[in-house]
Amino acid sequence: MNDARTAQPAAPADLDGWLARLEAAHPTAIDLGLERVAAVGRRLGVLDPTARVITVGGTNGKGSVARTLEGVLNGLGVATALYTSPHFQRFNERMRIDGAEVSDAALIEALGRVEQARSEAGVSLTYFEHTTLAAFDLFGRSGAAVWILEVGLGGRLDAVNTVDADIAVVTRIARDHAEFLGDDLEVIAAEKAGIFRSGRPAVIGQPDAPAALRRIALEVGAGLVEAGDAFTWGEGDDGLWWWRCAGHHWCGLPAPGVSGRAARGNVATALAALVQLPEGTGADPEAVARILGRIRVPGRLERIGTGSLEWLLDVAHNADGAEELARVLDDGAASGWTRAVFAVASRKDAGALIDALSGRIDAWYLPQLDEPDMRHADELARELAAAGEPVVHCGDDVAATLAVLEEQARPGDRVVVFGSFRTVAAVQAQKGWG
C-alpha cells in the first residue's frame, strides 16, 4: 500500500500545474466522506472559522442563491467570501473575496499549505477536497465576516460540510448524480439535509419540498425557515414583485437579472437567508432592491444580445433545469427560429433534457466537445431523430458548429446553449464572453 506521506515531487510552479497534479492525486475523482478532509482541515486549523458561514445546497438554484447572497452582502458593505463550483473559464472563479476572484499567486500558496497538511496527515485528497480546504484557508486569512459555501454534491458527505453552517440553505431538489445519490427524491433530500445544524436556521427554498427536509430539520433541532410558510413572494405592479419573511415586507423589488419563474424563488430564498444575519435584519429594503437590480449570475438563463441574434446561455443539465428552460422559452417567444447548441455529459439523462424541450427547438446543433466524459454527438443525433427533433448539424468542434449556425441564422432568431457547464463554457470561450 502506498503511504501518502512518502516523498512528493516538487511543488508545481503555476496554477495549471497544481490543478493537473490534484486531478491525478486520488484514485477516484469523487470519493464522498468527511474523514480525510477533516483530518487535513484540523491540521490547517480551518474548520472552526470566526466568520459566520452560510452553506447552500440543493440540486438546482444553489449557484444563483449563493451569488445573490454575495452580491447583496457586498452591496451592504459586508466583507464576504464565496466558494462555488464548477467554473466556466478560470479555476479562480470558484473562490471570490469581496466580489473579486482570488489570484493565482494566493491560490498556489494555499494549495501548498493544504499539501503540507495532507502529507503530515498521511491521507490522500480528491481534487475537490484539496481545493475546498484551500478555499477555507484563504477565506480565514481574508478576514471576511461571512463565508458563502456552495455544496458540490449531496450535502451530508460533501467536503464543504466539514465546516458547520450558521445558516443552511437547501434550494430545489431534483434527480441528478443518481450514481451517487440515487433517484428517490426523499433519499436525495435526506442527503441534502445533512448540512442542517441544531439551533441554527435551515432555509428551505422549495415550497413543495420533499418531506425529508422538514423531518430532518426538526430531528436535529434546526430553526425551520420554509418557503410558502416562513417566507412568501409574488407579483407586484409594473413587473416588480414583493417578498415577506418574519416581519419583513419588501415591495418594489426588480425583476431578477436571470430569466424565469424559478429565478424569483432563488432570490426570495437568498433574502430569507439574508435576514437571518444582523446585517440583513436591519437592511434598508430600497438599498437591497437597488443592489438586486445589479446582480447577474453567469450561465444561468443568461441573455446576451449580439447584433440581430439573442443568445440564452443555461447550464441546465437535468430534467428539472431543462423544464425551467422550457418555461422561459414559452414565456418569451422569439420572432424567428429558436436554434439550440446542445452537448451533455455521458452520465446525464440526455433523453429527459430532449423531452423537456420537445417541440420548442427549430434546429439542433450538436458540437463534439473534446472531453472523454461527454456524450458523443452522433449518439445525441440518434436520440433527437428518434424524438422527431430536427438536427441540422452534428459532430464538428464548437468553432465550426457556431460558424455553421451563424451562417444559417436570420435576424430575430434565438440561440439556446445548454446541456452542461462545459457546453456553456465552450461557447463562452469561442465567443470571448468569459
For position 121, what pLDDT does the model report? 95
For position 261, what pLDDT does the model report? 80
| Beta carbons of 56 and 161 less than 8 angstroms apart | no
Split at pLDDT 50, 70, 90, the class of 180 is low
Give SS3 for 271.
helix
Give SS3 for 358.
coil
Q: What is the mean pLDDT of residues 72-93?
A: 96
Q: What is the mean pLDDT of residues 82-98?
A: 96
Q: Is the pLDDT of residue 161 over 80?
A: yes
Neighbour-count burial for 55-78, b at 16+ CB within 10 Å, e otherwise: bbbbbbbbbbbbbbbbbbbbbbeb
Q: Parallel, antiparallel, or unpaired for β 201-204 and 223-226?
A: parallel
Distance CA 334, CA 1 (A): 60
Tell which residue, 293, 290, 248, 254, has the closest CA to residue 271.
248
Q: Which residues pair with 391 in a beta bridge?
A: 364
For position 271, what pLDDT does the model report? 97
Grid coordinates representing 76 are 451592504
Give SS3 for 393.
strand
Split at pLDDT 50, 70, 90, the class of 9 is low
Split at pLDDT 50, 70, 90, the class of 2 is very low
For position 262, what pLDDT does the model report? 85
Q: What is the DSSP string of 136-205?
A: HHHHHHHT-SEEEEE-SSSSTTSGGGGSPPSEEEE-B-----HHHH-S-HHHHHHHHGGG--TTSEEEE-
Distance CA 287, CA 313 (A): 29
Residues belonging to the chain? 434
Q: What is the mean pLDDT of residues 90-117?
A: 97
Residues of the chain with CATH 3.40.1190.10: 15-292
Q: What is the mean pLDDT of residues 98-119?
A: 97
Considering the four listed CATH numbers 3.10.150.10, 2.40.50.140, 3.90.228.20, 3.90.190.20, the one that applies to the domain covering 302-431 is 3.90.190.20
- Comparing 112-116, 251-255, 374-378, 407-411, the range with the smallest average pLDDT is 251-255
Bigger pLDDT: 30 vs 215? 215
For position 1, what pLDDT does the model report? 36
Q: pLDDT tens digits, residue range 221-230? A: 999 999 999 9
Q: pLDDT tens digits, residue range 277-292? A: 998 988 999 999 999 9
Q: What is the mean pLDDT of residues 120-130?
A: 94
Q: Is the pLDDT of residue 5 over 70?
A: no
- Residue for grid cell 451530508: 156
Q: Is the pLDDT of residue 177 over 60?
A: no
- Comparing 26-35, 141-150, 174-183, 418-427, the range with the smallest average pLDDT is 174-183
Q: What is the mean pLDDT of residues 118-127?
A: 94
Superfamily in which the 15-292 domain is placed by CATH: Mur-like, catalytic domain (3.40.1190.10)
Split at pLDDT 50, 70, 90, the class of 178 is low
Q: What percent of the chain has a predicted confidence (pLDDT) above 90?
A: 79
Q: pLDDT tens digits, residue range 342-394? A: 999 998 899 999 999 999 999 999 999 988 889 999 999 999 999 999 999 99
Mean pLDDT, the chain, rounded, equals 92
Residues of the chain with CATH 3.90.190.20: 302-431
CB atoms within 10 A of CB 257: 21
For position 258, what pLDDT does the model report? 74
For position 334, what pLDDT does the model report? 78
For position 26, what pLDDT does the model report? 76
For position 256, what pLDDT does the model report? 82
| Beta carbons of 194 and 155 less than 8 angstroms apart | yes
Q: What is the mean pLDDT of residues 149-178?
A: 89
For position 27, what pLDDT does the model report? 67
- Comparing 30-34, 213-217, 299-303, 399-403, the range with the smallest average pLDDT is 30-34
Q: What is the mean pLDDT of residues 1-25?
A: 75
Split at pLDDT 50, 70, 90, the class of 238 is confident
pTM above 0.85, yes or no: yes
